[in-house]
Structure 1
Amino acid sequence: MLIPIRLKRRPCAAWIACLSVCMATGAMAQTDNLTEADRIALLDQLEKIQKQSDDRVSGLYRRAIQDYRAAIRSDDATMDLYLKCYEKVHFEDEKRKSQEFRDWKRKNKQRLSSSSMRMALRHQLSWLLLSIEAARREGDVSELGDRAIQHLDQIFQHAETLKEHRAVLGQNALSSVFAQAYKLNIKVKDWPKSALDIAQIYDKVVMPPLRQPDRISRLRTAWKQRIMHEGMVFEKWTEAKGTTIGKKDALRSPQMEKFLSITRPQLQWEMEVDCFEAGDERASALRMLKHLETNLTHKDAPQWIKDFQAMIQPEVDSESVSDGEQVASE
């Protein structure tokens, strides 16, 4: 909000209107500098414009939130709103004929009538609502961690149903047609773009407030949930290509095998390092030692050993070092 300079005497409304006309017609081109009266008048107008803009944006947000909340009550209501938003963004705003929209709906009838598509859109809309709430908190999203995890849980509870609509689930909710239709210009620093942005959900929202000595157990639980959710992406949404009946490779996809052999051990190591740095040094150190013994052939094991050595290396007193160097020199 621009705050105008306040003087004892303010220009009258007629003078302000006259100034606006003069500026528009170029009558003021004869001088390069603004007078104090000019500045007061301009700031007064800017204040009014700012208020109009704030009122308009606030009104748009209120309407959007009301419509979104009404739509997420059911999959059908979500689809109804989606169609209205899609028509506005891709047809009305582009000055295309209503017949073209009807043709588009007819061509995509099967997909649009799919219950799984409607469910995916409902998840997307739900994440958009949470994103709006994060924006209104001005970056303090520490209290939204549990709700973000609930979104993930709900998605994976219906993983088979939602499998073919991963693109919808992974789309940036702030650039979806739901947001575009209401002209929501929202940016939230470090906020996950969708409910499938698992790493960001945990790294930026869930874990930061848990990195405290008295919250170590919750931090470790959050890490285990993250590892579980990242594994479910491959378990639920990748195809097994094994050919040996009765063997494990017949039940797991190559992506899942890679997760189990490479990614999961990496995440488990990061979990122990995180807990160690948050204050759980002894227990985490013992777990890291056990992890190294179990994963000696992992490609990152040599680096883990170096990092572990640096972490547990006794701290050297700088004064003692100086005294030692002095004695040695004598």
Structure 2
Amino acid sequence: MRLLVTGGAGFIGSEFVRSLLSSPDPVHRGLRITVLDNLTYAGVMANLAPVAGHPGFTFVRGDICDADLVGQVLPGHDAVVHFAAESHVDRSIAGARPFAVTNVLGTQTLLDAAHRHGTGRFVHVSTDEVYGSIETGAWTEESPLAPNSPYAASKAGSDLLALAAHRTHGLDVVVTRCSNNYGRYQFPEKLIPLFVTNLLDGLPVPLYGTGRNVREWLHVSDHCRGIDLALRKGRPGQVYHLGGGRELTNGELTALLLAATGTGWEMVRRVPDRKGHDLRYALDCGKAEAELGYTAEVGLEDGLADTVAWYREHRDWWEPLKSAPVEGR
């Protein structure tokens, strides 16, 4: 099989590429992956260094909104796994236009090319944030979309375009929606790597509002295993939830990170809450478990310990990213 992976130099995309190209599973034998990534601030070539010399790996730098380039790269691939997206909520609040352009127009550019060239499967990777906030229980794949941030709205729009391509043109689309990811190689603007790297440097960490916002945490390796299952076993036109099954308030997560870095609450600075901050996310993953055989395998304590240890040992990866000028990010 030959895959086109968009956004493959980012946090989740690079984990997907590394895990498949290093997999001993016979189902991945002979796999070839082309990564298409524009190397914006969160796309880091070092993320792909472990597979750079793999005979099945090819890298193309480019923008998913560039229809001519996409039209040149896509033919010959059996499937697309689409990670490329602007993804940081705070950045979307500060300026929403890049999110609408990349997440919506970029996705449509890929869908148009996939339809035009008769690409087999198109896996569109999305987020639980498209549902908004839920007080109790958990969302199913049939729950209505009610995004609150510009980022979430742009992802909801791209989800709907992908599903419309299936219903209108018969494109073999599968959509996955995940809970909050964490793990190695995550860009240090996101909560866990930001807190860990700050605490390792003796710097304070910012905790929004009361710290009572609840998130469900998913190790990136579990997420990518679920995406691979959706790629190989998902039904066309279906949405699948990939969650971690472990809910924590941001305050509870902060306590775990303080303990893991040997620091105390004196390092925490309370900051004004984020605009439109969703209180709670939760996914029902029963459909993915029943149809794909998906379950999360990495326990939160083990996953956090591994993540903290990785950042402690890989300053050469994250220090340049944190010290880069804002205009270069």
Normalised by the size of structure 2, how large is the TM-score? Answer: 0.23
Larger radius of gyration: 1
Q: With a CA cutoff of 8 Å and minimum separation of 6, indicate the structure with the bigger relative contact order.
A: 2
